């Protein structure tokens, strides 16, 4: 690896853009999670993403572009024009990924051979500057090894991918902390494919009711594999306030609100949003799972948050990290 560069330095932005154009792998900060980027038009560069992540199979990737106009070279926006225009005006740049019919210019590896492509305009100023300077679309999955929680700091990426990545741009901790919401515009009725950084209700306020679809990524190769996505090594267990199992070697993670009565006997108690603000929970979730995983606890009990707003995406990720799925 050439190093971790400060993304607020314009020279670092220029170096990252040059590296991307040269077919190298660059870890980029976004407002959701850090991405592992490569030139989406360069099949060999994209192949290195899968190698670096240790993915056992090829999942379709999200292609990142600097603005909505740049989508037209990659995808057919005409058929989805009304929804596309409303959604991009309301939520781009931001944590929303749209699935559209693809154009042939993209290598099959980016889309996993699908006739569609997922596109997003990220909001993080460092990555927007890189995208503008690079002048090529950037395919980027979350910059974690396959099956582990997504990185929300540059140090997470360096710790886990190290020399597998050519350059890391440090843009500070991710403000949102959960991956983007994915909406397919392939059918007349938009379909929610992955809950994420924009709550469903916010989207439906703009385009009306969405259908619910099946995610393409994280499709299990074998039964049980789905549950291991976003997994930690330390067993996580979802608990209710009346079924706590306090013990000195166990930790309690409270996703919203204060620790309940009866939690005193845990070796460690972490309350991510004592006041109940789920944006705080989302921003801290993945880093907290890593910290707890490194601490050597025998197990972590997790008290769920309400399934409202961002709580849907938070609980989606926590369930996937928990031992019983």
Determine, following the binding rule CB under 5 A, whether residue 142 of this chain makes contact with Mg ion: yes
List binders of ligand TXA among 82-121 (CB under 6 A).
Answer: 95, 97, 99, 111, 114, 116-118, 120
54-62, 163-171, 226-234, 241-249 -> range binding ligand TXA (CB under 6 A): 54-62
User: Which of Mg ion, ligand TXA, none has residue 37 at its interface (CB below 5 to 8 Å by kind)?
Assistant: none
- Nearer to ligand TXA (CB atom), residue 6 or residue 59: 59
- Nearer to ligand TXA (CB atom), residue 125 or residue 246: 125
Phi, psi of 317 (to 5 degrees): -70, -40
16-24, 177-185, 200-208, 254-262 -> range binding ligand TXA (CB under 6 A): 177-185
List binders of ligand TXA among 300-319 (CB under 6 A).
Answer: none
Among 35, 93, 151, 171, binds ligand TXA (CB under 6 A): 35
- Nearer to ligand TXA (CB atom), residue 77 or residue 252: 77
- Residue 277: CB atoms within 10 A of its CB come to 13
Among 15, 42, 179, 316, binds ligand TXA (CB under 6 A): 179
Total binding residues for ligand TXA by CB under 6 A?
Answer: 28
Determine, following the binding rule CB under 5 A, whether residue 234 of this chain makes contact with Mg ion: no
Determine, following the binding rule CB under 6 A, whether residue 215 of this chain makes contact with ligand TXA: yes
The residues near 6 (Cβ < 8 Å, ≥ 6 apart) are 12, 170
69-77, 121-129, 137-145, 240-248 -> range binding Mg ion (CB under 5 A): 137-145
Among 216, 231, 312, 322, binds ligand TXA (CB under 6 A): 216
Q: Which residues bind ligand TXA (CB under 6 A)?
A: 30, 32-33, 35, 59-62, 95, 97, 99, 111, 114, 116-118, 120, 140-142, 179-180, 182, 193-194, 215-217
Q: Which residues bind Mg ion (CB under 5 A)?
A: 142
């Amino acid at each position: 690896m050439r190093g971790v560069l400060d993304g607020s330095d314009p020279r670092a932005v220029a170096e990252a853009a040059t590296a991307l154009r040269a077919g190298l792998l660059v870890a980029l900060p976004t407002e959701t999670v850090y991405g592992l980027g490569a030139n989406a038009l360069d099949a060999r560069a994209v192949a290195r993403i899968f190698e670096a992540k240790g993915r056992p199979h090829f999942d379709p990737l999200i292609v990142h572009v600097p603005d909505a106009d740049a989508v037209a070279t990659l995808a057919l926006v005409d058929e989805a024009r009304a929804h596309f225009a409303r959604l991009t005006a309301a939520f781009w740049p931001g944590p929303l990924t749209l699935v559209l019919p693809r154009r042939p210019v993209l290598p099959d590896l980016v889309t996993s051979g699908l006739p569609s492509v997922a596109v997003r305009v990220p909001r993080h100023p460092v990555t927007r500057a890189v995208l503008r300077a690079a002048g090529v679309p950037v395919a980027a999955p979350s910059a974690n090894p396959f099956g582990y929680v997504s990185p929300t700091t540059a140090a997470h990426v360096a710790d886990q991918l190290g020399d597998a990545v050519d350059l890391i741009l440090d843009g500070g901790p991710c403000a949102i902390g959960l991956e983007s919401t994915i909406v397919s515009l392939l059918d007349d009725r938009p379909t929610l494919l992955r809950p994420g950084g924009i709550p469903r209700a916010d989207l439906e306020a703009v385009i009306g009711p969405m259908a619910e679809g099946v995610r393409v990524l994280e499709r299990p190769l074998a039964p049980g594999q789905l549950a291991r996505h976003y997994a930690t090594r330390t067993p996580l267990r979802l608990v209710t306030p009346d079924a706590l199992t306090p013990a000195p070697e166990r930790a309690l993670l409270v996703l919203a609100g204060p620790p309940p009565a009866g939690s005193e006997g845990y070796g460690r108690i972490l309350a991510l949003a004592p006041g109940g603000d789920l944006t705080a929970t989302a921003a801290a979730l993945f880093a907290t799972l890593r910290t707890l995983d490194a601490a050597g606890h025998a197990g972590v009990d997790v008290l769920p948050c309400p399934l409202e707003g961002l709580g849907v995406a938070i609980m989606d990720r926590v369930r996937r990290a928990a031992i019983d799925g």
